Structure 1
């Protein structure tokens, strides 16, 4: 490590700032348990700009059976406010797996946001009010083996009838990759939607295995993949 820093100092004008603590709105803290990464200040800034610091927190970021469409409700008078809010929430998903699905849903209506979309975005902010410091812990004790979980709905999008794939991948107990994305094709059954979700997760697992192999962390055994079938 010292040789690498000396090599870089000889060729570039850089400074050694020590252990990483804050970078691009992301906070890092170290302990014997590992490294904790969060965006607490960034989340509080969003709440302050939205004048919701005094709002009552909600327990869930989105109602379970809420189905938003591009045509329900009246158009917003100022769509730029909605676009700016959703854009900031997208960056918050760097450390917040729990809001990936609602933020992905809200980002589909950036071109013509309506009142129900705005109300759903406010619901996400009220949820953040109760959990501003939630983040990711990268454990110091880890055997560096991959495992994954995936799931999907069936025809969840009312406009296109396409299903949504969701997965999360762990390096032992540390969450390192996650996604919530609408599937490319329409699935004709719930089983087909589940298989598409598993296929997408396998692609990510394969890519991560190659990355770990380049980092000299070979995966000897197959990675277990858990699905809700």
Structure 2
């Protein structure tokens, strides 16, 4: 870290202290089961200890690792003749996986799917949770990387996935600030969209709301950006609707 970086950090601390009650606790290394590692100008956030504890508590420490957290084109649903599983254990595992997704966007979709069946989990749903754990066995060292870049401009990507079993789209987006991933989201729509364009448009609206909130937050702490924020979507029809004021 150079002297200019130190001055800039001190200036930021003074600006934040003028708006919020703050106390400098020194360099952060571990907080709420999140490990913070610094290497030169890079910052790594990981929950490797949380992963290892989770694998040990569930007896999956010596399991065969999987390369993906969920089966491709799965058809998970609540069926009348399903074989029930231990509801309390399922609920506890999903909660711990939800917390792990704070630093693991790679399991966000799989955990989102598992969370939909907390009210009535079956053996098939438990198998899905176990697959997430076996995936973590093969990828327990992964972490979020934050690098110092020359800008703090937000950028967002949106997309949808059609769920065949219930005709509801899975909406997802992830947002970068200064080239660093800071927010991600994966959730099933509450309503059934009549077309993929409608669902994509809903996701764009959600992405815009998040971008506006982030721009407001950055401006509040002294990082106002005059440049337009880019939002990426892979649907040309959705862009034509969004750009049409009529």
TM-score clears 0.5: yes
C-alpha distance in 2 between matches for 1:181 and 1:62? 16
Q: 1:75 aligns with which of 84, 106, 112?
A: 84
Query: 1:125-136 residue pairs with structure 2 within 5 A?
Result: 125-136=133-144
4+ long deviations beyond 6 Å = none
Q: 1:27 aligns with which of 22, 35, 60?
A: 35
Question: What per-residue deviation string (whole Å, max 9, x for no partner) do you get for residues 23-63 of structure 1?
Answer: 11000011223211010000110001111111121111001
C-alpha distance in 2 between matches for 1:169 and 1:217? 17
User: TM-score by structure 1 length?
Assistant: 0.89
User: TM-score by structure 2 length?
Assistant: 0.83
- 1:141 is displaced (CA, Å) by 2.7
Question: What per-residue deviation string (whole Å, max 9, x for no partner) do you get for residues 83-132 of structure 1?
Answer: 11111001001101011111011011111110110000011001000111
Unaligned runs of 5+ in 1: none
Query: 1:79-228 residue pairs with structure 2 within 5 A?
Result: 79-154=87-162, 156=163, 158-159=165-166, 161-228=167-234
Q: Does structure 1 conserve the Cα–Cα contact (< 8 Å) formed by 2:149 and 2:179?
A: no
1:40 matched residue in structure 2: 48
Distance 1:142 1:57, change over 3 A: farther
Instruction: Give aligned pairs, total.
Output: 219
SS at match of 1:192: helix
